[in-house]
């Protein structure tokens, strides 16, 4: 998952967790409960909960190994000693914003489902994954505050179009008709937050095209990125076999390829035999193919081609499409492209890297400028039955 998407881990179809995860074929399992949850006043300023797809209930977060207390906290944050925490305890305080434990658990569930679907996360990854999600939740709060500080406004037209999409999709539901306003009261603020995050990221990452001296400096520092790979020109005779064919069919194709190979070794015309036997589209050209980058060839032929001298013939090799006889007709070594040839690509790569740098720099600056206190006990795995204290 890229940095660009980690702060917006929300599915495109929104009926939020606060509304109760919507069951398949229905708008909501408990509309009255959903409306009550959406309308309940927040105890403290907090980020919007991550929504879920209406056709997939959010799974509970799988157990994870306890995060080691020696893991350093993110810059600008103050860790609290790790111990199992209840979802009702605050996860973090970011400036004057309190992120509840429930908000963190919802974000964790959405991120976990997005990355692992319903599979169990690898034990070696889960501790760091929980921390990464925690940092993303904190960064989301900081970025939203920064967007508002800059006077960025949500894309009202896009939000209006999204709501119109909900009306089209759920308009026939009685639950939607009776609870629409209460649902949208919870959904629209999330759409607005997503829009702000998209807009501030686009603003920060949009970098003007570099001047020639900047692009040239990038080219000189990354010359390995501007090398034209080696190219080879092959002749091919393909004895085509359907991949699902029986072993007997494959054996027959191999026998025919061996027979033709012997003829070629004794001086028979490659072009004539290609026109007669090959199932490749190059057959009408006598098996002649255009120059192609070595990396575009099937993995099975890399070793063969590397060992061939120009004009040499390879033994029949099994490919996905059948058996093939290859002849190396030409080889062009890798070549360094000049700056003039690579100017456009060098500029594009510089812009992308500079955008990444500015985005990372902004997040680091926000973390350093804002007091952040994270209760790392939320990174600890939930207690299982064996962990509960015994009476007596």
> Which pLDDT tens digit goes with each residue over 152-178?
999 999 999 999 999 999 988 889 989
The residue among 306, 329, 299 whose CA lies nearest residue 230 is 306
240 in Cβ contact with 325 (< 8 Å):
no
Measured distance CA(68)–CA(376) in Å, rounded: 10
- What is the pTM (predicted TM-score) of this model? 0.68
What does the pLDDT average to over 103-118? 90
Residues 6+ away with beta carbon under 8 Å from 297: 232, 234, 305
Question: Residue 55: what pLDDT?
Answer: 31
CA dist 263 → 258, 320, 325 (Å): 9, 24, 12
| 287 has a pLDDT exceeding 90 | yes
Question: Residue 88: what pLDDT?
Answer: 75
Per-position b or e across 120-143, b if 16+ CB within 10 A of its CB: ebeeeebbebbbbbbbbbbbbbbb
What does the pLDDT average to over 323-348? 95
| 87 has a pLDDT exceeding 90 | no
% of the chain at pLDDT higher than 70: 75
Question: Residue 120: what pLDDT?
Answer: 83
Residues, the chain, total?
392
> Which pLDDT tens digit goes with each residue over 126-156?
889 999 999 999 999 999 999 999 999 999 9
> Which pLDDT tens digit goes with each residue over 359-377?
999 999 999 999 999 999 9
Banded pLDDT at 283 (limits 50, 70, 90): very high
Banded pLDDT at 202 (limits 50, 70, 90): very high
User: Between vectors from CA 235 to CA 232 and to CA 241, what angle results, nearest 5°?
Assistant: 115
> Which domains are delineated in the chain?
3-208+356-383 (no CATH), 230-333 (3.10.50.40)
What does the pLDDT average to over 71-88? 51
Question: Residue 83: what pLDDT?
Answer: 52
User: What's the gap between Cα 168 and its chain centre?
Assistant: 30
Question: Residue 121: what pLDDT?
Answer: 83
The residue among 262, 190, 269 whose CA lies nearest residue 12 is 190
What does the pLDDT average to over 324-343? 95
138 in Cβ contact with 372 (< 8 Å):
yes
> Which pLDDT tens digit goes with each residue over 203-244?
999 999 999 999 999 999 999 999 999 999 999 999 999 999
| 30 has a pLDDT exceeding 80 | no
Measured distance CA(149)–CA(153) in Å, rounded: 10
What dihedral do alpha carbons 317, 321, 327, 329 form, nearest 10°?
A: -150
Tell me the three state secondary structure of residue 329: strand
Measured distance CA(108)–CA(114) in Å, rounded: 10
What does the pLDDT average to over 79-99? 75
Banded pLDDT at 389 (limits 50, 70, 90): low
3-state SS of 242-279? CCCCCHHHHHHHHHHHHHHHHHHHCCCCHHHHHHHHCC
**Number of Cα atoms under 13 Å in the Cβ half of residue 51:** 25
Banded pLDDT at 65 (limits 50, 70, 90): very low
The residue among 152, 118, 97, 165 whose CA lies nearest residue 373 is 97
The residue among 205, 144, 206 whose CA lies nearest residue 4 is 205
Identify which has the larger pLDDT, 47 or 368.
368
Tokens, residue 43: 């105890």
Question: Residue 372: what pLDDT?
Answer: 96
% of the chain at pLDDT higher than 90: 65
| 384 has a pLDDT exceeding 70 | no
């Amino acid at each position: 998952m890229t940095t660009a998407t980690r702060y917006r881990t929300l599915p495109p179809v929104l009926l939020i967790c606060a509304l109760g995860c919507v069951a398949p074929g229905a708008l909501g399992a408990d509309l009255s409960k959903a409306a009550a949850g959406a309308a309940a006043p927040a105890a403290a300023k907090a980020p919007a909960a991550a929504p879920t797809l209406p056709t997939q209930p959010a799974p509970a977060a799988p157990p994870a190994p306890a995060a080691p207390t020696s893991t350093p906290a993110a810059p600008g944050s103050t860790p609290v000693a790790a111990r199992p925490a209840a979802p009702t305890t605050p996860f973090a305080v970011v400036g004057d914003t309190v992120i509840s434990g429930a908000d963190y658990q919802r974000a964790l569930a959405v991120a976990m489902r997005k990355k692992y679907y319903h599979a169990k996360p690898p034990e070696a990854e889960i501790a760091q994954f929980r921390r990464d999600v925690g940092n993303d939740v904190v960064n989301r709060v900081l970025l939203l505050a920064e967007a508002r500080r800059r006077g960025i406004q949500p894309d009202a037209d896009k939000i209006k179009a999204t709501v119109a999409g909900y009306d089209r999709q759920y308009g026939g539901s009685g639950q939607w008709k009776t609870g629409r306003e209460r649902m949208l009261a919870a959904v629209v603020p999330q759409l607005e937050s997503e829009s702000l995050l998209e807009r501030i990221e686009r603003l920060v990452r949009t970098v003007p095209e570099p001047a020639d001296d900047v692009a040239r400096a990038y080219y000189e520092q990354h010359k390995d990125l501007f090398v034209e790979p080696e190219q080879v020109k092959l002749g091919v005779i393909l004895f085509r076999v359907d991949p699902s064919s029986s072993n007997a069919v494959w054996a027959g194709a191999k026998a025919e390829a061996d027979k033709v190979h012997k003829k070629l070794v004794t001086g028979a015309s490659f072009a004539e035999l290609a026109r007669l036997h090959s199932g490749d589209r190059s057959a009408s050209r006598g098996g002649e193919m255009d120059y192609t980058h070595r990396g575009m060839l099937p993995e099975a032929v890399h070793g063969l081609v590397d060992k061939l001298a120009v004009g040499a013939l390879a033994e029949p090799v099994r490919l996905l499409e059948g058996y093939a006889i290859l002849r190396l007709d030409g080889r062009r070594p890798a070549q360094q492209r000049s700056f003039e040839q690579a100017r456009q690509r060098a500029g594009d790569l510089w812009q992308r890297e500079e955008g990444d740098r500015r985005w990372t720099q902004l997040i680091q600056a926000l973390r350093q400028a804002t007091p952040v206190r994270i209760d790392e006990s939320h990174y600890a795995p939930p207690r299982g039955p064996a962990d509960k204290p015994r009476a007596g």
